[in-house]
Amino acid sequence: MTLKGRKAGFELQLADGAGIAEICVALTTLLTKLAADTPEGNVDFMLETGDRQLNEAQQAEIQQVFAQFPRFAVRSVHANVAAIAPLKSQLLAHTIHLVGGILRSGQVTEMQGDVLFVGSLHTGATLKASGSIFVMGDVAGLLIAGSNGDQDAVITGNIKSAGQIRIADTVEIIEKNDYDVNTLSYINDLHILSHGKLADLEKLRPKLFRKLEDF
């Protein structure tokens, strides 16, 4: 580890390739020496963990070392990487998920991102996506796209036998219709759920169309 002086205290750079036990041993040695060299006054430390995000257990172990030195306190912990959970959420939101199998009445399948559905959605079952839903299977249940409020989401494919479709907060109960496998359902400029042809996707939702090209 590396210790650097700062106006507000010390910056302590932890080796991101070292194990937490090794770090704690080295940290105890360093703080013991520092306590002897600075016998008076409180000292704040800013921890830099490099390319590693410390989890709660690892942070607790380091705090236990500092607890042996009452005049020393950790004021901040900083890493050069983002937290895993937000990154995972962002990745899922930009992924097209393949969903198959049989979804029976009462079942709810919820996905973050776009969904390519190739299974069978029975009456009373629900398929929910924060992004768009591309139907290539049999659908008789409830389809919900843009479940987090994304009004740019679409539902495409054969919704002829679906019980209901929703995009964001806009709902349509499917009754007698002439929808086919190329139906494109979307929210138009008047914030009304509208239907067109799949061929219109590039014009209506160019960003989504480009994502499909890369799929």
**In-domain check, residue 90:** no
- Are residues 143 and 51 both part of a single domain? no
Average pLDDT, the chain: 89
Structural domain of 65: 2-81
The rounded percent of the chain whose pLDDT value lies above 70 is 92
Binning pLDDT at 50, 70 and 90, where does residue 154 land? Answer: very high
Cross-sheet strand order for the sheet of 2-6: 2-6, 9-13, 43-48, 72-78
Write down the pTM of the prediction. 0.60
- Are residues 48 and 12 both part of a single domain? yes
- Are residues 177 and 112 both part of a single domain? yes
Binning pLDDT at 50, 70 and 90, where does residue 96 land? Answer: confident
- Are residues 100 and 195 both part of a single domain? yes
Overall domain count for the chain: 2
Q: Which residue has the higher pLDDT, 6 or 136?
A: 136
Residue 108, domain CATH: 2.160.20.70
- Are residues 153 and 189 both part of a single domain? yes
- What per-residue confidence (pLDDT) applies to 208? 86
- Are residues 207 and 147 both part of a single domain? yes
- Are residues 104 and 188 both part of a single domain? yes
- Are residues 145 and 179 both part of a single domain? yes
- What per-residue confidence (pLDDT) applies to 103? 96
